[in-house]
Amino acid sequence: MRSALPLSLACLCSLAACSNDDSDAPVSPGNVVLEITALHPRGSDTWLPPRAPDPTNPSDQGYPGDPEPIVIGCDRRLGVDTYLDNFYLRAPDACGSNVQCGYLVLEIDPSDAGAAASAYAVAPSLFVDLGALERAGKLEGAHVIRPRLSEPSGKPFTHPYASTPEDLTVTFASDTCALDGAGGGSGEPPSSNAGAAP
């Protein structure tokens, strides 16, 4: 009897510890979905990308995408809308223990040497300053737009995704602009939370 009680207590303590560990473990809200749904290149212009048919809706034929090139307004800002599910967009100090939390990043022409232009936001819509592309004489032509998510630390969020976010390949053209910069207006999306990278 003397040896049985300590053993029973040890087992109970062990079970309690396991129970506490399970309850404290972060739980994923589900696989993350991230995709670009619209571009706002100039004034009130909206450009819609290609979209595959919805397999759950037999009547959905998808969408081939709006015509190109996409005419960029004279302020050289490109508004971007995204669809995001199962990921919380929060400031770095507001994520707590949530493992699927952070911010949205958009990169133009990403490479090992960095992106030609980029922006980040804690909202699903943002705008990217394309001024560097114009100054380099590279605004017009084919470009790759890459959406991705970042953890609060700045490390890229890599999983779990329902499917890897797809790059969007588009062709830009320049609006006809006066020397003082007058011409097509801002392509900034309507969200008041949109922000550009410093």
Phi, then psi, of 120 in degrees rounded to 5? -140, 160
Q: Which tens digits make up the pLDDT trace of 18-68?
A: 334 444 445 667 999 999 999 999 999 999 999 999 888 999 999 999 999
Question: pTM for the complete prediction?
Answer: 0.76
Residue range of the domain that includes 45: 28-174
- The pLDDT of 95-112, averaged and rounded, is 94
> What's the CA gap between 86 and 3, in Å, rounded?
50
| Domains identified in the chain, total number | 1
Mean pLDDT of the chain: 83
Residue 13 lies in a domain: no
Residue 2 lies in a domain: no
Residue 197 lies in a domain: no
Residue 136 lies in a domain: yes
91: which 2 tokens? 């400031």
Residue 107: the pLDDT is: 98
Residue 113 lies in a domain: yes
> What's the CA gap between 107 and 92, in Å, rounded?
20
CA 61 to chain centre: 25
CA nearest to 164, candidates 137, 188, 146: 146
Residue 180: the pLDDT is: 57
Domain with residue 72: its CATH number is 2.60.40.2550
Residue 81 lies in a domain: yes
88: which 2 tokens? 């919380």
pLDDT of residue 189 exceeding 80, the answer is no
**How sure is the predictor about 97, in pLDDT bands with cuts at 50, 70 and 90?**
confident
Residue 140 lies in a domain: yes
Residue 3 lies in a domain: no
Strand partners, 89: 102
